[in-house]
Structure 1
């Protein structure tokens, strides 16, 4: 008798749990991009991603390019191994996608059919705001071309949903944009580019953000409304730059060089918020996040803040991570994975702070608040 009662209670518990889960799913609505209007747990229908190697997840794999990461030990901690991500594991946008309740967003080069329904990643290593940026690496997809690729995806969505439904759904999606690093590292600071002789630091920042403004307005005109703009980090402190100093110290010249860009982006963002109806732009202060991680390294569990986990030469930054090179074993103790890019652990910390941080980190609201608008 006792056994029968126990089974009955267990059955009732499972039924109630199933009903509760169904009620939660019903309350969370539907994804307008799903062909059957299926139930979802996502905070937003989709996320569309534009940027460079910090968030590229494989768009350069099939290009004639020197900027690739589709080989081991890249992806050593990623389920599935090397994918083209310039990390040992997750990038920042991978973690943001999970926090939004989305699956990992596919690369444009690999996405087709229903794969685009949760968003697409258009980011390309060596890409910049300026088309000429990154030409040393040969193949790359500049921001202008990334926007054109998005338009191709948009045409596919409009064909499937109808233009009006697609536009309505698009207004709820997150557009993550992280551009500008290569316009300095693989343009202005390169001796074979003319820009350093043509512009001082402020003039170059003005040039970049004038172009950036036009590009973001193009995305707005295509239907984007919720934007996350990632600022530039303290690039004078990455292993590649540190390796150029015999003392292994940060280049304050490089750190100062990018300050006008970040300042201009904030000013531009405030103007876009004021002048584009329905648009909400937010700014992630990557430089502040990096400074916090370095200043409180031990609190976060980091013991190595000034050299790559995988690389060759001074600060493991003179030559970046080579195919089948043996990386450090204690990767979670390193801030940098290679000469240019942070480890998965740093990417996850930054993503979580951008998602629910205060205005000193992400301004004027965070990604979670943006998603809920």
Structure 2
């Protein structure tokens, strides 16, 4: 199985077959857990279900993961993470050597608990306020920015002005948005009109313009180190494979092709922000190529199943996502996808390490490890 190259992407996934052995050895030989002093004082996380840690548990929404078998590999504790175990942000936090930040909506997330950062991510959230509304109430990107400012107002009272400025400039911000603007908006013409109103490039520019405003707002708030992963090859997730549009052994190429403008534009936006904003360190995460490499070379990474979910119902176990108390697959570490939409902990671990240790083709212009060292 190969993912078709995206015409406008600067990284062509097919080319990774030739260098897979080298890349895998570099990434997988790195330590799982960095020990010692924390690399950043705090981590602030904004995004969707790929990085949520439980905010939707406190919201009136059906997009929740607070039931088994979610969390089956976290000592059978469903926390609201859309994973069998840890998600991308948990594993990246380990590498940065800080505790994964608590969910904003949890009433206990206050006082000293917010000093290490807060996670605002909400399943079904998109760049556009309307995206994901079919699931119910959630924190959209704009609302998450409001929530972030609430936290920053509290933090400002907990330290001196100079300490606060230094704290923000050294903290790490992660934003993971865009998937729901496609999966739960543009690719749902029966519920949303966006695909009738915008051609794919026009929709991508709409998203990028909205995204750019908030990326600039982060800088104006005093934050300087900002990591922004792009979109994965969404046409390869079980949910999209389950549509039956593509042959059984292929991804939905038409879905993957429309993502090129967004990913290419986001990388270009990172360049523009770094050039125009003094002291800014914006970094683009090439999730598309990282996931594509895993899907093109699964055995090299220890995977045997790439085309269906470990837990789900129907074609590719992706027509209906993981249901309460459903029995998942036993060999979870060999599956790339946990449910209809999300990677397993094993896949998340690889993505986190590529973001932290990877070359410019994975994290541009520097990786997360390097950005934590810059001042």
TM exceeds 0.5? yes
Is 1:85 aligned with 2:81?
yes
| CA–CA distance in structure 1, aligned partners of residues 133 and 101 of structure 2 | 27
Question: What is the distance in 2 between the residues matched to 1:151 and 1:163?
Answer: 16
Describe the SS at the equivalent of 2:44: strand
Q: In 2, Cα distance between the equivalents of 1:162 and 1:200? A: 49
In 2, the alpha carbon distance for the partners of 1:94 and 1:322 equals 23
The alpha-carbon deviation at position 80 of structure 1 amounts to 6.3
CA contact (8 A) 2:230 2:286 kept: yes
Q: Which residue does the alignment assign to 2:310?
A: 309
Residues 23-54 of structure 1 deviation map (CA, whole Å, 9 limit, x = unaligned): xxxxxxxxxxxxxxxxx810110110010000
The structure showing larger relative contact order (alpha-carbon pairs under 8 Å, at least 6 residues apart) is: 2
For residue 129 of structure 1, the aligned residue among 122, 127, 130 is 127
Q: In the TM superposition, what are the counterparts of 1:165-176 in structure 2 within 5 Å?
A: 165-176=163-174
Distance in 1 between residues matched to 2:76 and 2:40, nearest whole Å: 26
* 1:368 pairs with 2:369: yes
1:219 deviates by 1.1
Deviation at 1:109, TM superposition (A): 1.4
Q: Report the equivalent of 2:144.
A: 146
How far did residue 79 of structure 1 move? 4.3
- Large movers: runs of 4+ above 3 Å: none
Distance in 1, matches of 2:114 and 2:37, equals 17
**Residue 163 of structure 1, CA deviation:** 3.3
Q: Distance in 2 between matches of 1:162 and 1:202?
A: 46
What is the rounded CA distance, in whole Å, between the counterparts of 1:292 and 1:341 in structure 2? 17
1:211 is the counterpart of 2:207: no
Q: Would you say the 8 A contact 2:68–2:76 is kept in 1?
A: no
Structure 1 distance, partners of 2:346, 2:317, is 19
Per the alignment, residue 277 of structure 1 pairs with: 278
Paired residue secondary structure (1:118): coil
The 2-side partners of 1:114 and 1:123 are apart by 20
Equivalent position SS for 2:227:
strand
Q: Secondary structure at the match of 1:149?
A: helix
Give the distance between the partners of 1:183 and 1:295, measured in 2 at CA: 26
Point out where structure 2 has 5 or more consecutive residues left out of the alignment: 1-35
Q: Distance in 1 between matches of 2:164 and 2:314?
A: 50
- 1:24 matched residue in structure 2: none
Question: How far is the alpha carbon of 1:103 from its aligned partner?
Answer: 1.1
For the Cα contact (< 8 Å) 2:312–2:321, is it kept in 1? yes
Query: How many corresponding residue pairs?
Result: 334
Larger radius of gyration: 1
CA distance in 2, matches of 1:91, 1:97: 10
| Mapped partners of 2:161, 2:48: distance in 1 | 30
Secondary structure of the structure 2 residue equivalent to 1:335: strand
TM-aligned CA deviation for residue 165 of structure 1: 1.8
Which residue of 2 is the match for residue 228 of structure 1?
Answer: 227
SS in 2 for 1:60: helix
In structure 1, distance between residues paired with 2:66 and 2:123: 12
- Match of 2:3? none
For residues 359 and 74 of structure 2, the distance between their equivalents in structure 1, rounded to whole angstroms, comes to: 29
1:30 paired residue number: none
Greater shift after overlay, 118-127 or 102-111?
Answer: 102-111
TM (normalized to structure 1)? 0.88
Counterpart residue number, 1:199:
198
Determine if contact 2:298/2:306 at 8 Å carries over to the other structure. Answer: yes
Deviation at 1:115, TM superposition (A): 1.1
Which one of 52, 56, 67 corresponds to residue 52 of structure 2?
Answer: 56
For residue 114 of structure 1, report the CA deviation from its aligned partner. Answer: 1.1
TM superposition shift of 1:164 = 3.2
